[in-house]
């Protein structure tokens, strides 16, 4: 198994294509958020993009498995403060915003200046993107916390399919780095919305207001509901909900009646997750997050101490 690096060409961005057994294909596009944009197994496409890849790259939409850094989901407003540093996103060009104008999904959805490398380890293939944040004035202006970011995707064959393992690493510079990062995997095992089956551990729901922001009590504490388990057939259910996951990590899955199955396993650093599957969608998103929605705004961010390295990982297993 190995990656083939394909240079940019008209209608296609630079990309890495996994060469594996016949009928299996994987594509990683760095300029789409170090994004795993395609996993095909035996003719079945198991990730969703909202449109063709060339059109997708010209928008701010999400699809595939994009990186949301340094925050996932939305912030409460444009201004936040960390350790005496005030950040104002009001004049950041090209910033993705939701329908209420709130900053959404971080700063790297279409960043295309990664330092890239690829290789093999035994029967596994990997592709890696590295970014020295302080080398890019536009990134420092929007998020003035120097750090080095490394993303590595490792792909390997498993019985009946493929496993994609992602390493997320942040090395803080001379100041602490607040993070609310996450990923947004659009997982589609095959089948219609109504017949897809979701499996999750016990989760604690976070009540959200009409803007999708976490509700807090008068003292500013995040509200948490009693544990629930959304496991079951989707049927008429639809999701756009925030949860506190188990402390020891979590495993969720989505499967179709004809045997397509995708498992998403996150380590203990991804303590929060958003479940997202709109009405009639043929996909489910289990979105791992380092902190709850609006964490940078609300003071709940995961903070990487100055001069230290933080790592978190997850794996996605695609089988048919």
Structure confidence by residue, pLDDT tens digits, 60-88: 999 999 999 999 999 999 999 998 999 99
Asked if 289 contacts 273 with a C-beta cutoff of 8 angstroms, the reply is yes
315 token code pair: 């794996």
Residue of 320, 259, 314, 317 whose CA lies nearest to 67: 314
Q: How far apart are CA 74 and CA 152, in angstroms?
A: 25
Phi then psi for residue 256, to 5 deg, are -115, 160
pLDDT(108) > 90 = yes
pLDDT(5) > 80 = yes
- Ramachandran assignment for 236, one of left (phi > 0), alpha (psi -120 to 50 degrees), beta (any other): alpha
Residue with tokens 């794996």: 315
pTM, two decimal places: 0.97
Query: Given this model, what pLDDT does residue 113 score?
Result: 96
Asked if 168 contacts 180 with a C-beta cutoff of 8 angstroms, the reply is no
Q: What is the pLDDT of residues 149-205, one digit of tens each?
A: 999 999 999 999 999 999 999 999 999 999 999 999 999 999 999 999 999 999 999
pLDDT(20) > 80 = no
Q: How far apart are CA 266 and CA 245, in angstroms?
A: 10
Query: Given this model, what pLDDT does residue 286 score?
Result: 98
235 token code pair: 């049927």
- Stretch 231-241: mean pLDDT, rounded? 98
- Stretch 42-53: mean pLDDT, rounded? 94
Residue boundaries of the structural domains of the chain: 2-319
Query: Given this model, what pLDDT does residue 155 score?
Result: 94
Fold of the domain spanning 2-319: Beta-galactosidase; Chain A, domain 5 (2.70.98)
Residue 10 — pLDDT band, cuts 50, 70, 90?
Answer: confident
């Amino acid at each position: 198994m190995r990656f083939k690096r394909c240079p940019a060409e008209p209608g296609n961005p630079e990309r890495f294509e996994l060469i594996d057994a016949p009928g299996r294909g994987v594509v990683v596009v760095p300029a789409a958020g170090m994004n795993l944009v395609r996993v095909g197994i035996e003719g079945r496409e198991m990730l969703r993009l909202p449109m063709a890849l060339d059109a997708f790259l010209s928008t701010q939409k999400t699809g595939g498995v994009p990186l949301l850094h340094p925050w996932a989901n939305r912030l409460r407003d444009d201004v936040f403060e960390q350790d005496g540093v005030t950040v104002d996103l009001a004049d950041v060009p090209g910033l993705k915003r939701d329908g209420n104008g709130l900053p959404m999904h971080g700063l790297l959805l279409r960043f295309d200046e990664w330092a890239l490398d690829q290789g093999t380890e035994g029967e596994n293939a990997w592709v890696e993107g590295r970014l020295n944040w302080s080398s890019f004035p536009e990134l420092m202006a929007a998020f003035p916390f120097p750090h080095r970011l490394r993303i590595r995707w490792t792909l390997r064959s498993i019985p009946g399919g493929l496993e994609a393992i992602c390493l997320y690493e942040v090395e803080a510079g001379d100041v602490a780095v607040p993070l609310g990062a996450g990923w947004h995997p659009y997982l589609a095992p095959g089948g219609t919305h109504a017949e897809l089956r979701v499996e999750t551990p016990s989760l604690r729901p976070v009540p959200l207001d009409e803007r999708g922001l976490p509700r807090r009590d008068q003292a500013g504490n995040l509200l948490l509901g009693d544990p629930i388990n959304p496991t079951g057939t989707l049927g008429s259910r639809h999701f756009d909900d925030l949860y506190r996951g188990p402390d020891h990590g979590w495993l969720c899955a989505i499967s179709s009646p004809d045997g397509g199955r995708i498992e998403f396993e996150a380590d203990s650093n991804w303590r929060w997750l958003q479940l997202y599957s709109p009405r009639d969608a043929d996909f489910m998103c289990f979105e791992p997050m380092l902190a709850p929605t609006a964490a940078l705004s609300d003071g709940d961010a995961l903070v990487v101490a100055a001069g230290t390295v933080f790592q978190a990982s997850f794996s996605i297993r695609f089988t048919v």
